[in-house]
Structure formats: C-alpha cells, structure tokens
Amino acid sequence: MFNIEEELKKLPDQPGVYLMKDEDNQTIYVGKAINLKNRVKQYFQSSRNHSLKVKKMVQNIRSFEYIVTRSEMEALVLECNFIKKYNPKYNIRLKDDKHYPYIKLNIKDAFPKLTIVRHMKKDGGKYFGPYTDVQAMWELVDIIKQTWALRTCSRNLPKDIGKERPCLNYHIGKCYAPCAGHIDQAKYSEMVEEVEDFLSGKYNSIIKKLQDDMQKEAEQLNFEKAAALRDQIHAIKKLEQKQNATTNSMADQDIIAFAKSPEDTLIQVYFVRQGKLVGREHFYLEDTEDETIETIFRDFIVQFYADATFIPKEIIIERVPYEMDILESYLTAKKGSKVKLIIPQKGTKHGILELASKNAELTFGRFGEHLKQEEQKTTGALSELKEALGFKKTPYRIEAYDISNTQGIQSVGGMVVFEGGKPKKSDYRKFKIKSVVGANDYGSIEEVIERRILRMRNEQEENSFTKVPDVFFIDGGKGQVSAAEKIVTKHGLNIPVCGMVKDDKHRTRGLLYKEKEVVLLKQTEGFKLIARIQDEVHRFSIEYHKKLRSKAQIQSVLDDIKGIGKERKKALIQHFGSVERLSQATLQEIQEAPGISKAVADNIYAYFHIHA
C-alpha cells in the first residue's frame, strides 16, 4: 500500500522528474524540479495558494514516482519525453496529431531515392520538412521529378545491378537506370546533392545550372530539351516568388507569437528559411487559464523542438519564457551549435514579430467558433454520454470492438479507440480469432476482450495496451455485451460495457447498458458520437476481414498449381504484382521470373490458359 506521507520523507534534495498517478495508476501529471523534496511537498501542503487546476489534480493523486537526474537540463529533457509518452491530463500538451509529411532521401543507400513519409526515423536518411502546406510540397516533388531522374524502384542496388532490364521510367527519360549500370554511383551522387540543395532552398545555384544546361542544348539544336529546361526554370522561379522575402538577411528563423483567451491559448509559428517565409502553423492549447504565458511559452518550446528536424540559430519570441537560460542550453545541445531566443524591441525583427502577433489574433478569432463547435462534438458529446449512462466521471478513453466473418470463415476482431471524443488511430488493433471455430460472435468477443485485458496486465513497457479504458463499446446486443462482461468480471475489473445497438435498417439506435437501452435524441452530439464510433469500428473490422479473405483467395489459386510452394508464391507476387497480371503473362515472361524453372512455368501457363 502506497503511503504518501512516508514517501514524501524519502524524497531527495536533488534535481529530477516526478510523475503523479491516479487510482488506476495512470500518469496524470509530469513535473521537473531543481529540488525534488521541496517541489513535490508543495502539492500536499496548504492549498490556499494553489490554482484550481492544481487543486483538482491533487484530489486525484494516489501515488507518485520520481527519477533523480544529474542536472536541471537533463530533467527538462526527461520531463518532455515523459509528457509525450504518457500524455498526462494536467500538463500543457502540444496536440499535433496531423503528422505532416516529410520528403526523405535515403542517402545511406548507394543510389538514393526520394519518398514521402509521415514519421521521422533514425535510419540514416535525410528528412526535409515537415510540410504544413501539402500542396506546396507536391509542387516541390513535381519539380524534382521533372528536373532530376532519380530512381523510384525498390530494387536492392548495387546488389541487383544487371539482374533485370530497365523499367519504363528509363525508356521515357525519367530514370538513368542505375539498375542496368547506365549511371555510376559518383555521377548519381552529384544529382542527389543537387536535389538536397534544392530542398534546402538554394534555388539560385540550381537555376544557374539549368540555364547553363539549357544554353548547351540550344547550341546543339536540341530545342525540345532546351524548352523542357526552360519550363523547369520557370517553375522554380514561380515557387521562389511564392516564398516572399521576409528579411533582408539570409537568416534561418522561427517567429513565435500568441493569442490568448481566459480559457485557451493559440501559438502561431512562422518559418523563415534563408530570409524567405516558407510556412506557418498554429497550435491550440486548451485549458490554460491557470498558466502564465511565460510557462506556456516554456512548455511549448520544449515540446515543439523535441522532434524538430531543424532548429534555426534564431528563435524570435513574443514573451520571455520561464527558464529561458535552460531553454537556450537545451536547444543549443539539440542543434549542436548556439541557438538564441530573441525578444526584439525594435527594428525589422520586431516588425516581423508584430505581424505574427496580429495574425495569431486573427487566427484565434477565425477559429474560435469552429473550435467551440469541435469542442461540443467531442467533450460536449462525452458529457452527454456521462449523464445518459449515469457515470461518475466523464469517459475519456472509449474502446470499441466488432467481430467480422463470412459464414464463419476467418473470423476477425477490430478494436478502435476514441480519446477525448476523437479517434486515436495509432491505438487501433486487429485480432485474428484463434480459439473459436465457425460463426460464434459471443465466443469471439470473449477471446478478443480476454486478449486485450491480458495484454493490459502483462505488458512490461507502458504503451497503448497498458492504458485502462473508461468504457468498452461492443457492436451488438445483449449476447455480445454479456460475453464481454463475463471476461471483465472474471478479471475483477470495474470497466463498464455498453452495446451499440442498431435499428431494422442497420443504423445506430442507441446504447445498451445494464440490460436497459439508453436512447439519446438523434440530434444530440452524444448520439452522433456513438454513431461515429459504431461506423468506424465496423469499417475497420470489415476492411481487415476483406484483406485476409483476399490473401486467402490468392493462396488458394496458387496452391492448385504443381511446383508452387510458399517461397515461389511470394516471388511470383513480388515479380508480377498480382495474380491477375501473372494469369495474363506469356510463357516466356513467366520463365523469366526469378526462381521459376521451365517445367514450373509450363504448369503456371497451362493452369491459366489451357484449363481456363
């Protein structure tokens, strides 16, 4: 049994991070301290000077943990990592679920290619972005494709050089075919470096090179090629004009301004690269009424730059943040060179900051009504569910489940998660039913909920499976609900189970809870949220089932052909892309597939053409 009074006595007089936990052992607040003993004790002393938010938090604290660090900056980094990991309820949280795209060059490869990705990884690749304006990013990609003939294939080079013929891109001038040895690694690397310069905004050197190439082609009377180069130059200049000059220097800067209401705060960030405005983004921070703007700026800067691909030398800010010296040290350490936080009082930088501040106010006003509507759809809907179901607290994490099968074949379960009234797709999970034979929805629900609860209890590292849901939603009626309740009771848990019931037209009708149907008016946000959850879990489980069924059909077709085993199936699908293309291939094309002998090729061709 955790005794808070006894644990407070054990706290060290050292810097570190502390984690406050509730009755479900969920982390509800993460903090940093120069002196852990003094800081943590303050929460449990007289509450007269505590803000309303802190008072509410303290009421929910049932235990705490702490980690000692060597310095305050080390504590700052650890605090940031824990906030991202646990998403604690009472911290200022930078909600950025949009996952803006990056342009990636896999420069560790001998012949790099360009891809669009949504997440950065420590894989040796070079990332550019994130791009808040996706249309502008695709303009960049189009210019690159027109100007540089980078490969797009998935061949393993240089290992696979000479093994296959060049693809269509080579024949239409979109690739130099390194796969066939038509360009060496050194020449290809020069081209990749030019792409890197272009993505870094160094347009002048690229334009000059293209102009030189255009002149050479014109002199050799290659007018079509010269015209293509001319068009590429125009496209780059047009792109450059969109990125209006912001300063008369060539500096890289971020400009951070804010707008605030009594309840919430909007942070606006302008991105200036080489003196040009290349993008802007805003972040809406909710429930900041008890926080000073200095603390908000401090927490925002730490979280925003934690995963940043690029940190400029200058960050122009509207307000001096709390712990500014530590922040500069933190950013400098991350960048590897000096980073300055600047609060300009006059001059060009002050003018840029004023512009950002005015735009923050305009954005705040423009999005205010929209955000209120969004809040009603999410937190308002959850409040309605709380009242309708008679819950003591508003449900935050809802997990919904559905079973899908076709006449009992390959039953699967789908789990979707809604947090704060919004889908959290990173926590969605798929289940292949293992212990149930045939179309048995009740048994399948039992298996899925059992596996979910066992993962929740047995996982060593905290992740999406260790989170305790506030309520289970099951797509179905009394039978499905009873099946889930049986497993919840078996494990001694107190998680409510509701059934999402449908009408005769297979549309959402309401919830089934404690053997009674809870009907909400269709125009209420609570009803609309139930419908969204039911539609989403049904869609998710059906898609998974279709995918498995499609794979099974592919397997069954190829299983009928003599000489086709597991490895050859895989190789054939990789080579031809689909069973349909394989069925349309000539005998010679099948014989040219890797690992296929003449006898096996004859069997494949005969199966699709002679026995068809």
The average pLDDT across 23-48 equals: 89
The residues spanned by each domain of the chain are 4-86, 129-242, 253-366, 397-544, 560-610
> Regarding predicted confidence, which is higher, 296 or 580?
296
Kindly tell me if the per-residue pLDDT of 14 is higher than 80: yes
* Highest-scoring range by mean pLDDT, 23-27, 243-247, 277-281: 23-27
Helix or strand (DSSP H, E) at 484: helix 478-490
Torsional sign, CA 150, 156, 159, 164: negative
- How far apart, in whole angstroms, are the C-alpha atoms of residue 173 and residue 134? 27
Type of residue found at 534: Q
Is the distance from CB of 252 to CB of 274 less than 8 angstroms?
yes
pLDDT for the residue numbered 478: 92
Distances (CA, A) of 363 to 83, 230, 367: 27, 39, 6
pLDDT recorded at residue 340: 93
Task: Name the band, by pLDDT with cuts 50, 70 and 90, for residue 196.
Answer: confident
Return the pLDDT at 397.
93
pLDDT digits (tens, 9 = 90+) for 365-424: 766 666 666 667 788 899 999 999 999 889 999 999 999 876 555 688 999 999 989 899
**What integer is the mean pLDDT of 308-333?**
89
Helices (H) and strands (E) in the chain, counts: 20, 19
**What integer pLDDT is reported at residue 128 of this predicted model?**
79
Same fold for the pair 4-86 and 397-544: no
Q: What's the confidence (pLDDT) of residue 373?
A: 67
> Which carries the bigger pLDDT value, residue 339 or residue 101?
339
Is residue 484 predicted with pLDDT exceeding 90? yes
| Banded pLDDT at 611 (limits 50, 70, 90) | very low
For CA atoms 431, 433, 438, 443, the dihedral sign is negative
Mapping DSSP to helix (H, G, I), strand (E, B) and coil, where does residue 391 land? coil
pLDDT at 240 over 80: no
In this predicted model, what pLDDT tens digit does every residue of 246-281 receive, in sequence order?
454 557 889 999 998 888 888 988 888 767 676 778
C-alpha–C-alpha distance, residues 503 and 192, integer Å: 59
Is 60 exceeded by the pLDDT of residue 301? yes
Residue with tokens 């990749």: 192
Residue 275 to residue 278: CA distance in whole angstroms: 9
In the block, residue with structure tokens 């679920």: 97
Percent of the chain with pLDDT over 90: 27
User: Which residues, at least 6 apart from 429, have a Cβ–Cβ distance to it below 8 Å?
Assistant: 414, 415, 452, 464, 465
- pLDDT at position 612 is 43
Residue 305 and residue 331 in contact, taking contact as beta carbons nearer than 8 Å: yes
CA–CA separation, 237 vs 240, rounded Å? 5
Q: What is the pLDDT of residue 229?
A: 81
Eight-class DSSP state of 420: T
Judge whether residue 209 has pLDDT over 90: no
Mean pLDDT of the 118-140 span: 76
Quote the pLDDT of residue 331: 93
**CA geometry: angle at 195 spanning 189 and 196, to 5°?**
90
Provide the percentage of residues in the chain whose pLDDT is more than 70.
Answer: 89
> Would you say residue 126 has pLDDT above 90?
no
Instruction: Name the CATH code of domain 397-544 (choices 1.10.1740.10, 1.10.260.40, 3.20.20.110, 3.30.420.340).
Output: 3.30.420.340
Look up the CATH number of domain 560-610. Answer: 1.10.150.20
Phi first, then psi: give them for residue 609, nearest 5 degrees. Answer: -115, -40
Amino acid at 245: A
Amino acid making up residue 584: Q
pLDDT for res 140: 82
Stretch 203-221: mean pLDDT: 83
For the chain, give the mean pLDDT: 84
Superfamily of domain 4-86: GIY-YIG endonuclease (3.40.1440.10)
- Token pair 């940093």 is found at 32
Does the domain at 253-366 match CATH 3.30.420.10? Answer given as yes
Q: In one letter, which amino acid is 514? A: K
Whether 245 has a pLDDT exceeding 50, the answer reads no
Helix, coil or strand: residue 30: strand
